[in-house]
Structures are given as structure tokens and as C-alpha cells.
Amino acid sequence: MFNALMNWFDQRLPILSFLRKHLSCYFVPKNLNFLYVFGIFALVMCFSQLITGIWLAMSYTPTTSEAFESIQYIMRDVNFGWLIRHMHTTGASFLFAILYVHIFKAMLYGSYQKPRELVWLFGWLLFALFSAEAFTGYLLPWGQMSYWGAQVITSLFEVIPFVGDSIAQWVRGDYTVSEITLKRFFALHVIGFPVLIGLLLFLHISSLHHVGSNNPKGVDIALKLDGKGKPLDAIPFHPYYTVKDLFYVLLMLGLFAAVVLYVPDFWGYFIESDNALPANILSTPDHIAPLWYFAPFYSILRAVTYPLFGIEARFWGAMLMYLSIFLLALLPWLDRSPVKSLRYKGKVSKFMFGLFVISFVSLGVCGVMAMNATALFIAQVSSLIYFSYFLLMPWFTKFEQCQNVPDRV
């Protein structure tokens, strides 16, 4: 009876065939490690953000006179409002932490290389969209940090010579951040960006399923097939990886629950304490820093203090910040190495990647600190390393001695 019904459906809309193709007959390398669950983690957190976001939007008011009040209302009066809000704020930080590990994994195993360039590019666009999503969302509580953060970041457009002021005003819809800005950020945060993110998630995962997952050894499993054309070193995604992923997802959600219930502000790193004060257009908080996940890029922005070619320092700072994100997109073409995984790349690659990770972390640490001479110096050195990693990559990956990649995993 049930089978007959399913068949009836499948002849009209191939749901079963679709599930078979992407689960029980989707072949994945058998040596995928823990780092490969972070893509699933990201999907789970996206879903959580969507649900908690819809619930928050039911009680939130996007006006300058009521935005801050409505957050207090959610926290105190709405049933379980505190829980839903803290899930949303913690979820944003979790999502970025997960994305950073996910990107780290892709860089470690050379997953951006041929034939996964599109997977990488769609992923990169997702990162850009999530940054926009997080930035617009952060203005909504209309606290001190919301207001001044948006003020500083929208002012970044002003640094463009000649047309900068008009662009910044076009983004804000006003001369300073105002209710007009708040309302458009709300619209983008709840409808605009999420729709685009959904579209890109679809593209990211379809392009991945078309070429298949890479693996920690960077071995191309499609080269060794059994008689039936199935890769020898692959196992079906379902049930093997569905069970493994489910197990880790539960662990991750346990950690998530612990943070949401015990340290929702994560000592000021997930919710900044100055944001408990309503926006005051007359006075900036003493220490303004972005949330931790933007800190590395913010550090690069602050690291440039000298004008060059007659153009002011802040222009170069902003350009370098955009460049630092853009260079990531070029990675598939900067890496000329014949091998994918760092395990088989040469010593120079390993050394440079190590330096790169250290520089990124120290940029992050400097970015949340108040500006002082030491932090500035560390940020400048780290920026230099960050950019040399990308700009020197075409040479060191081409000329270094790599190890032999085994032909089986």
C-alpha cells in the first residue's frame, strides 16, 4: 500500500529517485574525518537561525523609538523570548565559528582546486552574504554598539574618492544612520539576504554533489572504479555518513545549549555589554570593537595608518580589507600545486599555511583589543603575512618539491 503510494508519487515527481541519488546512492570517500561534519553543522545552524529569526520578527518593532524597547519586551515579557533571542545571538557566533573551521578544512585539503572551484566560489559568496546578514542584524537592537558599528562601517564607503559620500548616503538613505537605515536593514535582514542565502546554499550543495567531496588525502577516488562503475574507496552517504553526522550534530547542539543557557553573552564576545545601552547619537562608547568574527578584517582596516600616493590612509585601509576577503575567492587560481592536500605539499606550503593561520588569529585578537601601539604593530605584521600568503602562493606552490600522492585512500 505504502509502496504503491510512493510509486504513484515518484512517477509524477521523482522524490524517491532524488533521495536515492543524493543519499543512499551518493558515494562519498570513506576517509572523511571530523572536519567534514562542519558543513552539516552550518546547515543545522542556518535552520536554527531561520526559525528563531521568524519568532523574533513577530515581536520586534523596527523604529528608532521602539526597537530597543521591543528587545527588552522580548527578553522580559514574551514567553521564552529570552531563550529564542539568545539562541539567535549565540547561533550567529556559532555559525561563523563553524564557517571558519569549514573554510580552514577546505584550505587544508585543497578542496577549492579543480574540479571544485565553483563549490568554493559559491561558498565564498555565502560567507560574504552571511557577513551582510550579520551586519544588518546587528543594527536591529538599536543599542550603542549597533548604532556606532553601523555608523563606522557605512562610513567606509565615504573613503572612495569623489563619489564616496553619495554612496554612503545611498546605503543609509540618510546623512547619518537613522530610522530609514534601520528599516531597510530590517527588510534586508529578514527577507532580502535570507532568500539569496537559500539560493546559494542550493548552488553550493548541487555543485558539490555534481563533482563529489574531496578528502583529507586529496586522492581523486573517481580514478579507481569497481566493475559496476562505483569508486572503490567510497561508501554511500546514507547510512554511513548520516549516522556519523547525526552523532556529531547532537554533540554540537549540546555545546550550543550549554552556551545559550549558561553564558549567552559569552563574556561580552557574543553580545557586547555596551549594547545594553540604547543608541545615543551624541556619544560613542569608549571602546568600540566589532563582534569577534569580523575582528580579523577590522584589524586590517585599522592597520593602515600612512597615506600613500596622495590618497588618505583610511582609503587604503578599506581597500586592503576588501582585498583580504576578495583574495580568498581567487585561491583556486593562486594555488598552482599539482597536489591538493597539504599532507603531500612541500615544506614551504606547510610553513606558509601555518604562518597564515597564526596571522589570521592574531589579527582577530588585535581586532577586539583597544587601539594601542603594540596591537597596531602586531596587526601590521600579521596583515603583511596574510597578504604575502596569497600573493606568493603562485610561486611557492609551483616550485616546491611535493610528495607522491598514493592512488588509494
Q: How near is the Cβ of 36 to ligand HEM at its closest, in Å?
A: 5
Cα–Cα distance between 126 and 194 in angstroms, integer?
Answer: 10
DSSP assignment of 374-392 equals HHHHHHHHHHHHHHHHHHH
Cα–Cα distance between 53 and 407 in angstroms, integer?
Answer: 47
**214 is an interface residue for ligand HEM by CB under 6 A:** yes
29/149 with CB nearer another protein: 149
Kindly write out the interface string for residues 365-404 of this chain, putting x where it contacts another protein by CB under 8 A and - elsewhere: -----xx---------------------------------
Part in contact with another protein (CB under 8 A); list of ranges 192-200, 268-276, 284-292, 382-390: 284-292
Q: Within a 10 A sphere around the Cβ of 207, how many other Cβ atoms?
A: 18
Cα–Cα distance between 95 and 368 in angstroms, integer?
Answer: 19
Cα–Cα distance between 14 and 183 in angstroms, integer?
Answer: 42
C-alpha dihedral over 162, 167, 364, 372, to 10 degrees? 50
Task: Let me know the angle formed at the C-alpha of 142 by 137 and 148, rounded to the nearest 5 degrees.
Answer: 90
Cα–Cα distance between 56 and 310 in angstroms, integer?
Answer: 48
Cα–Cα distance between 40 and 102 in angstroms, integer?
Answer: 10
- In whole angstroms, how far apart are CA 7 and each of 11, 12, 19, 238, 309? 6, 9, 13, 21, 70
Kindly write out the interface string for residues 132-151 of this chain, putting x where it contacts another protein by CB under 8 A and - elsewhere: ----------------x--x
**102 marked as binding residue:** yes
Binds another protein (CB under 8 A): choice among 85, 102, 105, 184: 184
48/89 with CB nearer ligand HEM: 48
What is the number of residues in the chain? 409
C-alpha dihedral over 205, 206, 210, 211, to 10 degrees? -30
Q: Which does 286 bind (CB under 5 to 8 A by kind): another protein, ligand HEM, none?
A: another protein
**373-399 and 313-334 are packed helices; what angle lies between their axes, rounded to 10 degrees?**
30
Binds ligand HEM (CB under 6 A): choice among 71, 119, 139, 260: 119
**313 is an interface residue for another protein by CB under 8 A:** yes
Q: Which does 33 bind (CB under 5 to 8 A by kind): ligand HEM, another protein, none?
A: none
- In the numeric block, the cell 522524490 is attached to 15
- In the numeric block, the cell 529564542 is attached to 84
CB 301 within 8 A of CB 313: no
Q: How near is the Cβ of 242 to ligand HEM at its closest, in Å?
A: 12
Part in contact with another protein (CB under 8 A); list of ranges 23-31, 99-107, 282-290, 399-407: 282-290
By CB under 6 A, what part of segment 226-255 binds ligand HEM? none
Q: Which does 87 bind (CB under 5 to 8 A by kind): another protein, ligand HEM, none?
A: none
Beta pairing partners, 28: 235
Binds ligand HEM (CB under 6 A): choice among 74, 168, 208, 252: 208
**170 is an interface residue for another protein by CB under 8 A:** yes
148/344 with CB nearer another protein: 148
**345 is an interface residue for ligand HEM by CB under 6 A:** no
Q: Which does 148 bind (CB under 5 to 8 A by kind): another protein, ligand HEM, none?
A: another protein
Q: How near is the Cβ of 164 to ligand HEM at its closest, in Å?
A: 28
**290 is an interface residue for another protein by CB under 8 A:** no
**88 marked as binding residue:** yes
**238 marked as binding residue:** no
C-alpha cell at 245: 553526522
Residues in binding site for heme b: 88, 102, 189, 204
Residues in binding site: 88, 102, 189, 204, 209
